[in-house]
Structure 1
Amino acid sequence: MDKVMSNKGVIALYVLPSLLLLLSIVYIPIVLTGYYGLNKWDGISPMSFIGFDNYKTLVQDQAFWQSAYHSLLLAVFSAISLIGYLAIALVLSGKIKGANLLRKIYLIPMLLSSVAIAQLWIKIYHPSNGVLNTFLNSIGISDPPSWLADPKVVLFSLFVPIVWQYAGFYILIYYAGLKNIPETLTEAARIDGANSWQIAMRIKLPLVTEIIKVTVVLSVVGSLKYFDLIYVMTDGGPNGASEVMASYMYHKAFRSFDFGYGSAIGFFLLLICLLATYLIRKATATKDTVQFH
């Protein structure tokens, strides 16, 4: 077996299928998107090469930068919500009653499609007979906002179901990391007189730091390119108040039939995600990594 695996030809043969798959569904589309962004194209007629004109238009497009601001707000909101997810995981990883049931409850949103979640929250936010406004009316608030129609609140109304949608995913990641910490470490800390708060802050959190870094990257980058639930619930409305970069790209490409400009937005969004990943990794880089065996 060692002789076979030391053969470079055999190694290349094993790697080739996955490499071809990666090229066909990731790298080639990225290159094509960058090329389309250099053209004026409606998706049907022949492309007309215009150089960097689409990118110059993008820099001056106030509607795009407004959508970028909304995506940034979502990224910040999602990153902050990780604190809540981590707190829940810390509680669930302890010896509490009903932890198994609570874990299953938190995982329910992961079992639903984005369309199903969107339809559920549209019903909750319904201005006349939705659960939320019905409750607010019952406690004396006679004029609650139209959550998905008011430009002042629509964006934050969308943040709530998005955070709820991914709660189970991040809680599961944190829970798995916390449960992987040896019990001997926490037991030794308790014998030395440490309370639950001290154990969480000084033992558990340092040991899951690398996991936290990964989830921050996933959360921020995922938020910057988020699309599906916003598209179903508001389609970027009202009047662009909930437009994000991905939905703006979709509207330009598939509604305005400006595939060249839409491709430029998509390629620029890729660069923003790469830059965000680099900055987060740079900001959270440490010389020493806490390890346990």
Structure 2
Amino acid sequence: MLPSRSRTSVLVFLLPPLLLYGAAVLLPIVQSLFLSFFSWDGITDLRFVGLDNYAEMFAGDDVFWTSFLNSLGYVAVCLFMQLGAALVVASLLLNLTRGRQLVKTLYLLPAVISTVAIAILFQRIYAAGSDGMLNQALAWVGLESLQQAWLSDVDTVLMAVSIPEGWRFSGLYMLIIYAALLAVPKELEEAARLDGANWWQLFTQIRFPHIRPVWATTTIMATTYALRGFDIPYLLTNGGPGQSSELLTTYMYKTAFTNTDYGYASAMSVFIVAECLIAVGLIVLLLRRKADA
């Protein structure tokens, strides 16, 4: 649809970021796929093992499946906070007349804070005994019986490491959804109100259908990022206690750089890439079916 000169200009400007993307993203994926068929400790020669790494991963490694299930729980908590809470806050901001900029700024603030600073903050929040801010808050409201070592209890540690990640990026997705809600035609909303539509009908029949493409994009972003989540869980617990907060990413990292088994770690990285692609496909298919319905 563009003139020849315009197409050339577009290609010229697209070429540098595409080359950078290929070198920083696609090339490591290809290298990981290649290494996944070998056994390598990073020093000696590569030894071809075929599909042995994948066979061990799927059939002989209980830690892998524990990490996989933990990753699914981690994703669920992150999506609830990053998309569910972001949608609620964005909807409330539409009706806020004063202090809107302050609320947006405060809600976005965690996204620009250092990951290490967030990990240190939540270590202080989750600290065991009366030193922890969360335990102190429970004591103030008379719920001392609920006090515990949140990062040392196998029943609470996964939730405890998931919440900081969900809180960290909820403001970013809130701003994206809020911008999409602002673009909904006001004439349609006013017509719906005149027809007697309540707030739920207004949201489900007018607003959400218009922001569905943006919602699909934010869902894909939040899901794939959560599936690749690493830094905060690793800094808070390093996968412990036991493997109760071990994620696929933390397990892959320790397999590569602690156990120096780069071939097996590469097989796990390939699985993570495939997992993200499958998740994106399922999200697109689900949202498309709902849109067609």
TM-score by length of 2: 0.90
Question: For structure 1, which segment, 242-251 or 278-287, has the greater mean C-alpha deviation from structure 2 after superposition?
Answer: 278-287
Map of 1:89 onto structure 2: 90
User: How many aligned positions are there?
Assistant: 288
Match of 1:228 among 227, 231, 250: 231
1:263/1:124 CA distance change after superposition, 3 Å:
same
Please provide the CA RMSD for this pair.
2.2
What's the CA shift string for 1:163-206, capped at 9, x where partnerless? 11111011111101001112222223233333433322321111
Whole-angstrom distance in 2 between the partners of 1:46 and 1:27: 24
Map of 1:125 onto structure 2: 126
1:208/1:255 CA distance change after superposition, 3 Å:
same
What's the CA shift string for 1:144-165, capped at 9, x where partnerless? 1100011111001112212111
Map of 2:36 onto structure 1: 37
2:206 pairs with 1:206:
no
2:12 pairs with 1:22:
no
Displacement of 1:282:
1.5
Question: For structure 1, which segment, 213-222 or 107-116, has the greater mean C-alpha deviation from structure 2 after superposition?
Answer: 213-222
Map of 1:72 onto structure 2: 72
Whole-angstrom distance in 2 between the partners of 1:62 and 1:80: 28
2:168 pairs with 1:141:
no
What's the CA shift string for 1:192-250, capped at 9, x where partnerless? 33343332232111111122222222222222111010011111111111000000000
Secondary structure at the aligned position of 1:181 is classed as: coil
Displacement of 1:136:
1.8
Identity %: 35
Whole-angstrom distance in 1 between the partners of 2:282 and 2:290: 16
Displacement of 1:5:
3.3
Displacement of 1:278:
1.0
| Structure 1: gaps (5+ residues) | none
1:149/1:11 CA distance change after superposition, 3 Å:
closer
> Are the counterparts in 1 of residues 85 and 170 from structure 2 also a CA contact under 8 Å?
no
Match of 1:181 among 181, 184, 187: 184
Map of 2:287 onto structure 1: 284
1:201/1:143 CA distance change after superposition, 3 Å:
closer
Letter matched to residue 45 of structure 1 = T
2:265 pairs with 1:270:
no
Displacement of 1:140:
4.4
1:38/1:178 CA distance change after superposition, 3 Å:
same
TM-score by length of 1: 0.90
> Are the counterparts in 1 of residues 233 and 239 from structure 2 also a CA contact under 8 Å?
yes
